[in-house]
Amino acid sequence: MLGLPDSIRVVLFDLDGVLTSTAVLHRRAWKQAFDTFLRQRDPDRFEPFTEQDYLSYVDGRARLDGVRTFLRSRRIEVDEQTVEAIGTGKNDEFLACVARGEVEPYPGSVRYLEAVEKAGLQIGVVTSSKNGADVLDAADLSRFVRARIDGRDIAAAGMPGKPAPDAYLAGAEAFGVAPDEATVFEDAISGLEAGKAGGFGYVVGVDRVGNAEHAAAMRSAGADVVVTDLAELLDR
């Protein structure tokens, strides 16, 4: 009833864009931070940060890795102080969104979490965000989660971020299972690549973009199946 192989014992969810609509808030905060920087740097040659920039260079990555990857795509070289300033500006805007009560879980994701819990599988969250605990609490999803690996844990352990599989491997280890006994749920290309690289038993792509081109890219990145909402898996 969960749309997963029978061998799966643990499910590992990315957070933003998979369980909660906060990917939209992240994208908005990134756009504000990058557009401010780009406009101040060269007003006459300003090219705004786009949705495709978000998907290609930022989505799923640790905050400062996202800054570096996007700036590299524009062939912009800056010092680490500037990287930190852009990342801090983005995070301040995102936290303001959280404080305003703008965090909402996807209804289909809540239905799926309830079904997973009822089926007796263990639920974990693996997110690059250092605000993972706050977002889960704001969305009233902490009650489902038995283990959480977030950006703070990743930084403290010195793990490489997605697309490296290390954070998801740590999630499987937290439950004492092998990767092939766990499923990864991701909306980011970098996260799907991490699931594939880690040898996980099943990788689910959650396509919140909603077009054939992006769904094809998700399959190429490692998704075994692509859905637009987690509740679709309940009907398989």
The residue range of the domain holding 141 is: 10-21+104-235
89 and 109 belong to one structural domain: no
Pick the catalytic residue: 16, 59, 153, 187?
Answer: 16
Last residue of a domain, one of 73, 99, 125: 99
Question: Which one of 99, 126, 151 terminates a domain?
Answer: 99
Give the CATH number of the domain where residue 210 resides: 3.40.50.1000
Q: Which among 59, 56, 80 has a CA at the least distance from the CA of 68?
A: 80
- Has 14 been annotated as catalytic? yes
Whole-model pTM: value is 0.80
Active site residue 44: no
- Determine if the peptide bond prior to 163 is cis (ω within 30°): yes
Long-range contacts of 200-208 (CB under 8 A, 24+ apart): 200/12, 200/168, 200/172, 201/5, 201/7, 201/8, 202/4, 202/5, 202/8, 204/230, 204/233, 206/17, 206/18, 206/230, 208/17, 208/23
- Which helix (H) or strand (E) element contains residue 84? helix 80-99
Q: What is the pLDDT of residue 108?
A: 97
225 shares a domain with 133: yes
Name residues of the chain where pLDDT drops below 70. none
* pLDDT for 159: 95
Q: Look at the chain and report how many structural domains it folds into.
A: 2
Out of 14, 53, 59, 187, the active site residue is 14
